[in-house]
A = this chain, B = another copy of it.
Amino acid sequence: MTHSDNKPETPGLRRLMHEVIFEAETPSGKLFDVLLLWAIVLSVGAVALESVAEIRAEYGKLLYATEWFFTVVFTVEYVSRVYCSDSPRRYVLSFFGIIDLLAVIPTYLSFFVLGSQYLTVVRVIRLLRVFRVLKMTRYLGEAEVLMEALRASKPKITVFLGSVLSVVVVIGSLMHIIEGPEHGFSNIPVSMYWAIVTLTTVGYGDIAPGTVLGRTLAAAVMILGYGVIAVPTGIVSVELHKAAERMPSKSRCRSCGVDGHRAHAVWCYNCGSRLTKDSNE
């Protein structure tokens, strides 16, 4: 936010653009964000519709024009963001900077690579900005609790996924030997694909065991997968519970700084002084 003094040309225009593009507090800034969100939704919708053969046959030209219109708009927006950012370098390398760039590149690439324009749907990720527009700090807080719970679950989930993948390799090879190419288990990678489809209880049915031994093993895999889904669920439940308990600001004690008090608590469990509500709630 510290205005750099060594770029004095048109400071008014740059500051105005910065206000409109990067901030959502002013009316013009909010209008810009709302228009941008609708542009994203419409452009993703246009790409999705263009992929339907019947619609392309009839409205192909209109959708093609729409596609290029939005690409030009988003390109201008990207250049503006780089221009009026306080630190262009940091913006370009930030998560949203990369997504903003990826959102326009595929259309230009479609001159050279057929079908690449469908990749512009990464634009949908830009919709995450919606949280800023709607001032849903509450939602951001919730997202933070979710993210913290998932981050805390990472080591347990890694151990869990590693074990599951080992099981998939071993079961896949066994089923390849037992069932053979007759019922679709023509090689180990395909059998591993089947093992994942079964363990996760998706069960397409494009590959299914046909022999008695294969079906017995498959039944064991299903019951394993059925029990095994309990593990990540349990992990996330416990971590969410902890993360929710850890959440600050609810009722932090003014005297000793400890938080995590029960919802209705009146006295701090740590130092015994009376709890007062925070003003920002």
Which of A's residues lie within 8 Å of B, judged by CB? 44, 47-49, 51-53, 115-116, 118-119, 121-122, 124-125, 127-128, 130, 136, 138-139, 142-143, 145-146, 149-150, 155-162, 164, 166, 169-170, 172-174, 176-177, 181, 186-190, 192-193, 196-206, 208, 212, 215-216, 218-219, 222-223, 225-227, 229-242, 244-246, 258, 260, 262-266, 269-270
**Complex: A238 Cα to B240 Cα, angstroms:** 7
* CB pair B158 A139 closer than 8 Å: yes
- Majority DSSP secondary structure for residues of A touching B: helix
Known: A226-B200, A232-B230. A170 touches B52 (CB 8 A): no
Q: List 12 additional contacts besides A51-B176, A139-B158; criterion CB under 8 Å.
A: A47-B173, A48-B169, A51-B173, A119-B173, A130-B162, A146-B156, A201-B201, A201-B202, A204-B208, A205-B206, A233-B236, A242-B244
The number of times this chain is found in the oligomer is 4
In this complex, what residue of B is CB-closest to A147?
Answer: B159
Ordered by A's residue number, 9 sampled pairs between the chains whose C-beta atoms are within 8 Å are A125-B166, A139-B158, A145-B156, A189-B212, A193-B218, A201-B226, A204-B208, A227-B232, A229-B230
* CB pair A146 B159 closer than 8 Å: yes
* B residues less than 8 Å from A196 (CB atoms): 219, 222-223
* CB pair A235 B241 closer than 8 Å: no
* B residues less than 8 Å from A264 (CB atoms): 258, 260, 269-270
Known: A125-B166, A146-B231. A265 touches B260 (CB 8 A): no
Interface centre among A236, A239, A264 (most CB of B within 10 A): A236
* CB pair A223 B200 closer than 8 Å: yes
* B residues less than 8 Å from A216 (CB atoms): 193
* B residues less than 8 Å from A236 (CB atoms): 230-231, 233-234
Known: A155-B139, A205-B204. A188 touches B223 (CB 8 A): no
